Chain A
Amino acid sequence: MLLRDLAHSRAGDKGDISCISVIARDAADYPLLLREVTAERVRAHFAGIVRGEVRRYELPGIGALNFVLEGALGGGVTRSLALDAHGKCLASKMLEFDLGG
């Protein structure tokens, strides 16, 4: 099962940092996301893209997690050579996260 089956996501940028939300479509799945989608696993999922730390913030009130990926945007949106300099597509990459099962 992919994360896309249970959650939706949007990515934003600030400098060289990408922020990616993971929002449970059904609040009942939030505990599963909380257990499976850890900062450590997300960092591994983005290997080759993220160079720095990955932090996770929890929002039980809206059944969402917010990930902050440092060093994920090729040195910063305004000077990055990447095709998707803003890292907008990284939300779709996030939804490719394998939940197992």
Chain B
Amino acid sequence: MRTVRIGAGSGFSGDRIEPAVELAEHGGLRYLVFECLAERTIALAQLARRRDPEAGFDPLLAARMRAVLPACRRQGIRIVTNMGAANPLAAARRVAEVARGLGLHGLRIAAITGDDVTDRLRGTETALDEGGTVAALGNRLVSANAYIGAGSIAEALEAGAEVVVTGRVADPALFLGPLIREFGWAVDDWTRLGRGTVVGHLLECAGQVTGGYFADPGVKDVPDLARLGFPLAEVGEDGNALVTKVAGSGGRVTPATCKEQLLYEVHDPARYLQPDVVADFSGVKVEAAGEDAVRVTGGDGTPRTGSLKVSVGCHEGWFGEGQISYAGPGAVARGRLALDLVRERLGLIGHEAEEMRFDLIGMDSILGPGEGAPEPREVRVRVVGRCTSPEEAERIGHEVDSLYLNGPASGGGVTKAVREVIGIRSCLIPEDDVRPSLAWVEA
């Protein structure tokens, strides 16, 4: 059976670059995929693009391309990435610039646009999953981007693209696109589209399937995390796959690492909603197939819903935060006193917030109140609130800062922060209302 090797060069926008180079040089790949777009990233990118029409794509785009393009060109490896964020066309031009700088003339780059549905949805009564409507967001609306499918990626590759740059695309579709193009899977071959989605889902977080985000010393050990290798899959025409990594790289690929990633961010495993298919992970089997190799079979799928998920970014005000530490005997009591004091002070000065939170890091900031838990040697007070203006948000840090001279004994290490909050909500849009299109740039 014919197979194709596809690798994951990143799992988020800040990911390491060397493992992608390692994959490009030694992975024997036909495709290298870079997934770099978190929920909120695209809304922030939209804001950047409004300030500068040539901005709004991933800040590491040029660095990543500079690192992998020579090996990819030499070996004919095609690149697919959502690093275009809010501006795929400008990103494609940037890739062309990088290619020219490397002497890689004639490189063909396709930009996929059409995921931006902000203007289409603005002011409409489209219901948000969290309640309310898009219209009710008014001028708080920042962006609306539909998660588009694999079709236009496959099309761009078929037309000869060596690099495909997209904006918001369903993450697994970045992998499904190349597989559709390679094997000619039909748009209603739900089983194969489902299996391709399994592959995409396993690879889209890169190191998270090769032993990253897995280590628990003494319980789940992972060798050589500092040189963690990124994954590749050898995918068959039937959509079943072997997940592995470059020999000699750090990390490990085992049934356990694959199981953790298979269920990552999944709700109902039998109905993983994607633009191209409703993937069914419920019958997936993973079996060790040698060192750092796992055979993944049994994925399936059912017809797609006909709706696309839309990620809606909106202004949600400002976070203000202050922190201070207490240590040694009585640390917890002094920390609690500090929290009470800040709470009272914020009341006295008439501070206004939409929402406030008072944590004692070391005691209850993550796991919630725990009765009878032993007291730590040091704790950190954290006061944070969401306010309607940066000035109001800043007052929170001021009150924590003032604990230096006015609060409990021996507090130290104050930090303060204010930042704008862009929240993400979601809604659905009929797939026929979204028309992806291709634009070409040549180096």
What is the chain A residue whose CB lies nearest that of B323?
A: A83
What is the chain B residue whose CB lies nearest that of A82?
A: B357
**Chain B 172-188 against A: per-residue CB contact (8 Å), 1 yes, 0 no?**
00000000000000000
Chain B residues contacting A101 (CB-CB under 8 Å) are none
Chain A residues contacting B76 (CB-CB under 8 Å) are none
B382 on the A face (CB < 8 A): yes
Q: Does A21 lie within 8 Å of B386, measured CB to CB?
A: no
Inter-chain CA distance A13–B264, complex, in Å, is 9
If A8-B216, A19-B266, A62-B262 touch, does A76 touch B357 (CB 8 Å cutoff)? no
Q: Does A78 lie within 8 Å of B421, measured CB to CB?
A: yes
Chain A residues contacting B269 (CB-CB under 8 Å) are 57, 59, 66
What is the chain B residue whose CB lies nearest that of A93?
A: B367
B268 on the A face (CB < 8 A): yes
B64 to chain A, nearest CB (A): 24
Q: How many residues of B contact A (CB 8 A)?
A: 52
Q: Which of B219, B266, B385 contacts A66 (CB 8 A)?
A: B266
**Chain A 16-51 against B: per-residue CB contact (8 Å), 1 yes, 0 no?**
110101010100000000000000000000011100
Inter-chain CA distance A74–B366, complex, in Å, is 11
Chain B residues contacting A48 (CB-CB under 8 Å) are 368-369
Query: Which of B53-61, B237-245, B281-289, B435-443 lies at the interface?
Result: B281-289
B62 to chain A, nearest CB (A): 27
If A10-B264, A62-B285 touch, does A76 touch B359 (CB 8 Å cutoff)? no
Chain B residues contacting A10 (CB-CB under 8 Å) are 213-214, 260-261, 263-264
Q: Does A23 lie within 8 Å of B39, measured CB to CB?
A: no
Inter-chain CA distance A47–B368, complex, in Å, is 9
What is the chain B residue whose CB lies nearest that of A89?
A: B366
Q: Does A77 lie within 8 Å of B285, measured CB to CB?
A: no
If A23-B260, A61-B282 touch, does A81 touch B384 (CB 8 Å cutoff)? yes
Q: Does B39 lie within 8 Å of A77, measured CB to CB?
A: yes
Chain A residues contacting B386 (CB-CB under 8 Å) are 79, 81
Inter-chain CA distance A59–B285, complex, in Å, is 10
If A61-B298, A62-B286, A81-B384 touch, does A17 touch B267 (CB 8 Å cutoff)? yes
Extra contacts besides A57-B269, A77-B424, A78-B423 (6): CB < 8 Å: A4-B219, A8-B260, A19-B266, A62-B255, A77-B40, A81-B386
- Residues of B with Cβ closer than 8 Å to A? 39-40, 129-130, 213-214, 216, 219-220, 255-256, 259-270, 281-286, 298, 316, 319, 355-357, 359, 361, 365-369, 382, 384-386, 421-426
In the assembled complex, 30 residue pairs joining A and B whose CB atoms fall closer than 8 Å, in A order, are A4-B219, A8-B260, A10-B213, A10-B214, A10-B260, A12-B263, A14-B265, A14-B267, A15-B426, A19-B263, A21-B259, A21-B260, A21-B263, A49-B367, A59-B282, A66-B266, A68-B267, A76-B130, A76-B424, A76-B425, A77-B40, A81-B355, A81-B356, A81-B357, A82-B365, A83-B365, A83-B382, A84-B365, A93-B366, A93-B367
- Residues of A with Cβ closer than 8 Å to B? 4, 8-10, 12-17, 19, 21, 23, 25, 47-49, 55, 57, 59, 61-62, 64, 66, 68, 74-79, 81-84, 89, 93, 96
